[in-house]
Structure 1
Amino acid sequence: MLNRRHIRVKVMQSIYAFSGSASDDLSKPQKFLLFSIDNMYNLYLLLLSLLIEVQKRAETDLQKKQNKHLATQEDKNPNRKFVNNELLHLLRGNKQLQEQLEAHKINNWQLDDEYVDVIFKAVIASDLYATYMQSRTSNFKEDKEFIIDIFKDVIAPNDKLYDYIEDKHLTWLDDLPTVNTTILKLLRKVKPAVSEGYFTPRLYKDLDDKQFAVDLFRKTILNTSKLNKEIEQRTKNWDADRIANIDFVLLQMAICELKEFPSIPVKVTINEYLEIAKEYSTPKSSIFINGILDKLVKEYQEANTLNKVGRGLL
């Protein structure tokens, strides 16, 4: 679920926050780093549970119409295609998912049910819904394709949902693209019969990824003076005040990764930080960072100080 680039972004944010702190204690910022990563899983559960709650809301809506004093024939005999959507029932009946929702105390939609109503109304007002509801019967494939399209085109881009997520946890905005992608991948691959753990994937691919987050954070912070000298020696013609703070942090991390992580290929390190710079810093940042790192790597190679293990890592 979590990729190395997202881990680097989390570390970048934590180092950036720490650089403005007067404390030398790494325990609290490290704890926050791991919390912000773990909290990404809560966002994943929150969005999956929203699909379930929207289906429940549709069910309640039909029941209310049937119980109206002057119910129409359509009210009495409604089209239950959305309510009976097989993929939504698969989600709703997944015991392990329900256990995770309870364990992580994901009860937002019970407390803020007006947002469920907002999404439900957006769904039924969409052209996708109108097309889907033209018939009363379906199969798993059609049900799945409908939910994928609704999530991608109606739920994920919803402005009110976006604002809600931003208000709940600031770090969730950076997590949202990764979480949405994860959900869509799972929905696209889901089959009528899946294991109980299908909808509860591991946050980290393996323990090495979690250790990578901690090591990158600690080694960058603990070697700040050395890393800054490396940067200053190669930016003598630059006014220090003109270098964006994010660029400085990204350079610190990249140099640390080049020198302290022998199993990570040089090209991977450079490409990762250039992509992060494009997304989180100024339009020219990636060019600036690429120039500095390219110069550094050539110097390290000439001095034979790049400690890389394995073929193709240079």
Structure 2
Amino acid sequence: MLNRRHLRIKVMQSVYALLQSNSDDIVKEEKFLNYSIYKIYDLYVLQLSLMVEVRNLAEKHQEIAKKKYLATSEDKNPNRKFIDHPFLLGLKNNESLKEYISTQKLKNWKEDSEYVRLIWDAIRESDIYVDFIKNSQSDSPKGDLNFISELYKKVIAPNDKLFDYYESQLITWVDDIPFVNTWIIKNLKKINVNTRFDKNSIYKDYEDKEFVVDLFKKTVLHHHEFNEDIDAKTPNWDTDRIAEVDFILMKMALTELKYFPSIPTRVTINEYIEIAKDYSTTKSSFFINGVLDKLLKEYTAANKIKKIGRGLV
């Protein structure tokens, strides 16, 4: 499920797109925001189903080799350790995964099967795979899971061609791939033949779902107001010298400070400082921290911040 930081990143993308287009169609952009969030779950499923398709391709190759005219003893009696791996078999036989792929019409690995072959080639050439196949001893459940984890982290997740492919499918996936890869690694222990796949589980709870929409709408509705506040605290800066992403992150932070009573002020400021480190200039985090600290003091003195609960300001 998505954490609050990634939800903020998705809102940042939509606010940026709306302001850059000079559009006032909040409803349209809100729909795309929701669409892009739910598509993260499709990406999650695609990465998992890719492993199933790789496993199936490996089995297909073994079946073809058995039928060769001059088949070797190895061709006739292939090592099925990878094909029969418990994790891969669990995914292959997961009815919920099959249903999700069918209902969401995720035909990627059928229509773009060259990427399945690309990943399979990368896997069988890796030391991780070679060592796993050579080890004749039966692995423990922990060892089996460690093999999949290492294979995913070192072969599948960092594959540049796969990254480029996802970027070509949906531009917002560029920022989602690292999150999805981390999500899969964390979930490996929980994924099995009985795992349910439901895109509604993308949110931790209904409160997070509301948070996204409210943050987007309130940031857009109040961004002119926040322009004035930010300008007042940056008198020696021309607007053109401030990165557009910095403006948006500060406006989102100020929206949270003023209009989200249950979020502690320090949590808000720290979150946007961290996002700035990944999405803006090298000095942006320091700049944003300075401006927000000044405005927090001003808002507090003017009684503009009303938080629910002790220790939230």
Say yes or no: TM over 0.5: yes
Tell me if structure 1 keeps the 8 A contact 2:10–2:33. yes
Tell me if structure 1 keeps the 8 A contact 2:264–2:311. yes
SS in 2 for 1:133: helix
Q: CA deviation at 1:75?
A: 0.7
The separation in 2 between residues aligned to 1:189 and 1:304, in whole angstroms, is: 47
What is residue 34 of structure 1 aligned with on the other side? 34
Q: CA deviation at 1:226?
A: 1.0
Q: CA deviation at 1:189?
A: 4.3
Q: CA deviation at 1:239?
A: 1.3
Instruction: Give the letter aligned to residue 237 of structure 2.
Output: W
Tell me if structure 2 keeps the 8 A contact 1:224–1:252. yes
What is residue 223 of structure 2 aligned with on the other side? 224
The separation in 1 between residues aligned to 2:54 and 2:199, in whole angstroms, is: 20
Q: CA deviation at 1:302?
A: 2.3
The gaps in structure 1 that reach 5 residues or longer are none
What is residue 66 of structure 2 aligned with on the other side? 66
Q: CA deviation at 1:293?
A: 0.5
The separation in 2 between residues aligned to 1:64 and 1:237, in whole angstroms, is: 71
Tell me if structure 1 keeps the 8 A contact 2:100–2:197. no
What is residue 177 of structure 1 aligned with on the other side? 178
> What aligned pairs does 1:142-221 form with structure 2 within 5 A after superposition?
142-190=143-191, 195-197=194-196, 202-221=201-220
Structure 1 84/195 Cα, relative in aligned 2: closer, same or farther at 3 Å? closer
Instruction: Give the letter aligned to residue 208 of structure 2.
Output: D
What is residue 9 of structure 1 aligned with on the other side? 9
Tell me if structure 1 keeps the 8 A contact 2:219–2:252. yes
The separation in 1 between residues aligned to 2:199 and 2:128, in whole angstroms, is: 28
What is residue 274 of structure 1 aligned with on the other side? 273
RMSD: 1.6
Tell me if structure 2 keeps the 8 A contact 1:122–1:154. yes
SS in 2 for 1:2: coil
The separation in 1 between residues aligned to 2:51 and 2:167, in whole angstroms, is: 19
The separation in 2 between residues aligned to 1:34 and 1:199, in whole angstroms, is: 15
Tell me if structure 2 keeps the 8 A contact 1:148–1:188. no
Tell me if structure 1 keeps the 8 A contact 2:46–2:106. yes
What is residue 141 of structure 1 aligned with on the other side? 142
Q: Does 1:250 align with 2:249?
A: yes
The separation in 1 between residues aligned to 2:67 and 2:29, in whole angstroms, is: 55
The separation in 2 between residues aligned to 1:211 and 1:199, in whole angstroms, is: 19
The separation in 2 between residues aligned to 1:105 and 1:226, in whole angstroms, is: 44
What is residue 239 of structure 1 aligned with on the other side? 238
Tell me if structure 2 keeps the 8 A contact 1:38–1:203. yes
What is residue 294 of structure 2 aligned with on the other side? 295
Instruction: Give the letter aligned to residue 73 of structure 2.
Output: Q
User: Residue by residue, what CA displacement relative to the aligned partner does 1:251-310 show, whole Å, maximum 9, x if unpaired?
Assistant: 111111100000000011001100110000000000000000011111222233211111
Q: CA deviation at 1:162?
A: 0.9
Tell me if structure 2 keeps the 8 A contact 1:58–1:120. yes
User: Residue by residue, what CA displacement relative to the aligned partner does 1:169-214 show, whole Å, maximum 9, x if unpaired?
Assistant: 1100101111111111111445xx7644279781000111111111
The separation in 2 between residues aligned to 1:69 and 1:77, in whole angstroms, is: 15
The separation in 2 between residues aligned to 1:201 and 1:131, in whole angstroms, is: 39
The separation in 1 between residues aligned to 2:310 and 2:90, in whole angstroms, is: 45
Q: CA deviation at 1:231?
A: 0.8
The separation in 2 between residues aligned to 1:170 and 1:84, in whole angstroms, is: 36
Tell me if structure 1 keeps the 8 A contact 2:269–2:289. yes
Moved over 4 A (4+): 198-201
Structure 1 258/95 Cα, relative in aligned 2: closer, same or farther at 3 Å? same
The separation in 1 between residues aligned to 2:242 and 2:71, in whole angstroms, is: 68
Moved more, 96-105 or 214-223: 96-105
The separation in 2 between residues aligned to 1:111 and 1:198, in whole angstroms, is: 22
User: Residue by residue, what CA displacement relative to the aligned partner does 1:210-258 show, whole Å, maximum 9, x if unpaired?
Assistant: 1111111111111122111111111112111100111011111111110
Size of the alignment, in residue pairs? 312
Instruction: Give the letter aligned to residue 35 of structure 1.
Output: Y
Structure 2-normalised TM-score?
A: 0.96
The separation in 2 between residues aligned to 1:225 and 1:198, in whole angstroms, is: 41
Structure 1-normalised TM-score?
A: 0.95
Q: Does 1:45 align with 2:36?
A: no
Q: CA deviation at 1:100?
A: 1.1
SS in 2 for 1:202: helix
